[in-house]
Amino acid sequence: MAMNWNCTTTEERLTDYLDGVLTPEEAAGFSAHKAGCAACAKMVADVSALVSQMQRIEPLEVPVHLPVRILDATLGPRKQALDWRRWFDWVDVIWQPRFGMGAATVAASFAVLFHAFAPVGKKVTLADLNPAAVVRTANRQAHLTYAHGVKFVNDLRVVYEIESRLGPQPARITPVSEPETPQTSHPSPSSNDPHQKSQAVPHTDRREASSEGLLAFAEANRWPDDSTTRSRP
Amino acid sequence: MEPDAQLIQSCLRGDGPAWEELVRRHTRRVYNLCYRFTGNGAAAEDLSQEVFLRVYKTLGSYQPVYGAFPTWLTSVTRNLLVDHYRRTRRDRITDSIDDAMPQLEETHSPVRSPDKMLQATELSEQLQQGLARLSPELREAVILRDLQELDYSEIRTVLQIPEGTVKSRINRGRIELARVLQEMGVRPA
């Protein structure tokens, strides 16, 4: 005999419907009412989704100290059997994303430092860990880095231009004419005449010009030598 | 794994490791029930300890004919939760503002809240807030059925009410919880 389903009946039998224990006639009446009542259809959908979602929720983890606390309260403070576990309680604290990111950053920093200062190209031996060896390696690495930097700066065109202007320049730069008596196979302009040579320093031989300027500067500013000092009264 | 009945017999003979095993095996069930009911991590820990203290003292009164040990343990837990609810009722009435949104306070609280580290999803937190707004009778019925996954006869044993009433409470509790979650803007997918 068909039941007269209404909103109240639908609400009362909802759990039976979800459990699948309605008789075929009841299920037909339930479905028919649900199809014609938007409010009941929504309620059934909401509760059905809620129940399935609740059943998927994982139980909460128990705080690590709770079983120990219960055992202490029931059996009394026990001997060292469980105490070693407490030494590792800090693992639970640092085992969090924020600390994990920090640890990863520190590890990456150490990796970069090691890569920069560790002996490269050979196996690390105990001797490499000697503080003196570490200092020596770091010192060498620092000098190499500095030398590379200096070379890079010197190779810059703008630096060359500045050096060329600051250094002692010839009064007039003349294009190099054909050398009268080429002595060597060096392609740079050269002459046996020192005067002519000084006039013919081209921009391409900037190192020579630069070193000459530095030498002149050093000569002008050098300390008086001992013999001069001693000759003074 | 040694059955609960054997562990209990060992406990009654004074076997400490057996009691330890029993505690470790069932702490999660008790703690979850307490936490879902109270919505407070610290209170759940205190209540869990209280439950096991009572079990420790009354283990001799347990008889397998009353049902499985987990069901008996759930009954003990539920009775203590009822006591706890009565004890804290005065505080809840007095502190009406906090009572209106107890879970919001809990969400922003504390270090001891297990949610910060252990609760898996946002839905779980929202569900906890929704449960807190149900009456205790409906709340415990829904928790026992849908979160503790007890069957109707176990719930009847725990709550000491007819099975028809159990189903009715579960039914009303689910509908009410769905309505509350909808008010909170939560829509279970």
The CATH number of B4-183 is 1.20.140.160
Tell whether the model's pLDDT for residue A17 goes beyond 90.
yes
Helix B163-183 with B122-132: angle, nearest 10 deg? 120
Interval A64-114: pLDDT, tens: 899 999 998 888 876 555 556 667 767 776 777 777 778 888 888 888 887
Contacts of B187 in chain A (CB under 8 A): 46, 49
Write out the DSSP string of A65-134: HHHHHHHHHHH-S--TTTHHHHTTHHHHHH-SHHHHHHHHHHHHHHHHHHHHHS--SS---GGGGSHHHH
Residue B123 CB partners (closer than 8 Å, separation 6+): A53, A57, B186, B188
Task: Tell which residue, B44, B40, B100, B126, has the closest CA to residue B77.
Answer: B44
- Helices and strands counted in chain B (H then E): 11, 0
Q: How confident is the model at residue B89 (pLDDT cuts 50, 70, 90)?
A: confident
For chain A, the residue count is 233
| Cβ–Cβ gap B182/A58 under 8 Å | no
B33-51 mean pLDDT = 92
| Cβ–Cβ gap A51/B187 under 8 Å | no
Looking at this protein, which amino acid is placed at residue A154?
N
- Where in chain B are the domains? 4-183
Interval A106-152: pLDDT, tens: 888 888 887 776 655 567 777 777 888 888 888 998 999 999 998 88
| Cβ–Cβ gap B177/A74 under 8 Å | no
Distance from CA of B88 to the nearest CA of A (A): 23
Total Cβ atoms within 10 A of residue A166:
11
Phi, psi for A189 (deg, rounded to 5): -60, 135
Name which residue leads in pLDDT, A105 or B120: A105
SS3 state of residue B169: helix
User: Searching chain B, which residue's CA lies closest to the CA of residue A10?
Assistant: B171
Compute the mean pLDDT over every residue in chain B, rounded to the nearest whole number. 82
- Where in chain A are the domains? 7-56, 96-150
Instruction: Report the pLDDT value the prediction gives residue B102, as an integer from 0 to 100.
Output: 40
SS3 state of residue B135: coil
